[in-house]
Amino acid sequence: MDEGSGSGPGGALRPGVRWRPAGPADVPALREVCRLTGDAGRDARGRTAFPDLLGDVYAAPYAHHEAAFATVVEDDGGVAGYVLGCRDTAAFEAWREERWWPPLRAAYPRPETAAGGFDEPFLRIVHTGVRPEPVWATHPSHLHVDLLPRLQGAGVGRALIERVCAQLAAAGSPGVHLGVSARNPGAVAFYRRTGFTELSRSADGHTFGRTLSPAGPSTVAGSPVGT
């Protein structure tokens, strides 16, 4: 495991790369990283008509409601990635329905205005919320990891995964899940390598899960992490 991948307050991942807990002050940086990786891992700036939309769906709320499981990674160029976790997806979505979505519904247009376009599915989440899924019963936590290209392929993503899984396990979560676009085969391969097992698949993407225990994270099949 890389240095700094535990559950402490912060530290060095490798020379010149540091991680630390995230909070509301990091929201602009979280939005920026989300925007630069939001097109199935690629830069979405040329595709979205709303610069903050992706971040408002997939990044910013975690810094406000679930900051205990949020970590940013910095190098000399600033924030270059993050992991954002959620202990109880059902409770998180209830909070977003009550507190997070109402002002955004007033700010963003209905999804029908972007029918068939890049922004439509994200506007639909804003206006209709997230429906419960069966996976929440067995893997109630979820997470998002995004890294800018300059930090990819250097073990940083794996270290962030281990950090948040350890935090969620310590908080009593039995399992964590995440979604991956079918257009991002590199991310699919990465999650398989980091101990996640495919739970379901659709035309649009995959849902992966990993079981957790107080003794530490493990794969769904019970194999040691890192094998």
Whether pTM > 0.85 for this model: the answer is: yes
**Residue 207 is assigned to a structural domain of this protein:** no
More confident residue, 220 or 137: 137
User: Looking at residue 216, what is its pLDDT?
Assistant: 58
Distances 63 to 75, 122, 137, 189, 222 between C-alpha atoms, Å: 20, 19, 24, 27, 31
pLDDT of 199:
96
Indicate the range of 12-26, 53-67, 101-115, 135-149 predicted with least confidence: 12-26
Residue 64 DSSP code: H
Residue 8 above 90 pLDDT?
A: no
Partners of 147 in the beta sheet? 81
**Section 139-145 average pLDDT:** 97
Is 128 a domain residue? yes
In a domain, 59, yes or no: yes
Determine, yes or no, domain membership for 53.
yes
**42 has a pLDDT exceeding 90:** yes
Residue ranges making up the domain that contains 28:
11-173
Number of domains in the chain: 1
Residue type, 112: E
Residue 31 falls in which region: left (phi positive, over 0), alpha (psi -120 to 50) or beta: alpha
Tell me the pLDDT tens digit for each residue of 184-213: 999 999 999 999 999 999 988 999 999 998
Is residue 5's pLDDT more than 60? Answer: no
- Residue 199 CA: distances (Å) to CA of 83, 88, 125, 131, 175: 21, 18, 22, 17, 12
- Does residue 212 lie in a domain region? no
The verdict on residue 198 lying in a domain is: no
Please identify which residue in the block is written with the tokens 């209709």: 128
Is 60 a domain residue? yes
pLDDT at residue 165 in the model = 97
Specify if 210 maps to a domain: no
What is the pLDDT confidence band of residue 9, given thresholds at 50, 70 and 90?
A: low
Spatial distance between the Cα atoms of 6 and 1, rounded to a whole number of angstroms = 9
**Edge-to-edge strand list for the sheet holding 205-211:** 11-14, 17-21, 70-75, 78-86, 141-147, 175-181, 205-211, 197-201
pLDDT at 223 over 90: no
d(CA 109, CA 126): 9
Percentage, residues of the chain above pLDDT 70: 90
Phi, psi of 147 (to 5 degrees): -130, 140
Handedness of CA 91, 98, 22, 67 (dihedral sign): negative
Residue 11: predicted pLDDT = 83
How confident is the prediction for the chain on average, in pLDDT?
A: 90
pLDDT at 215: 59
Average pLDDT for residues 91-107, to the nearest whole number? 98
Work out the percent of the chain whose per-residue pLDDT is above 90: 84
CATH of the domain at 70: 3.40.630.30
Quote the pLDDT of residue 6: 41
Per the CB < 8 A criterion, the answer to whether 74 and 17 are in contact is yes
Joined tokens for residue 35: 């925007």
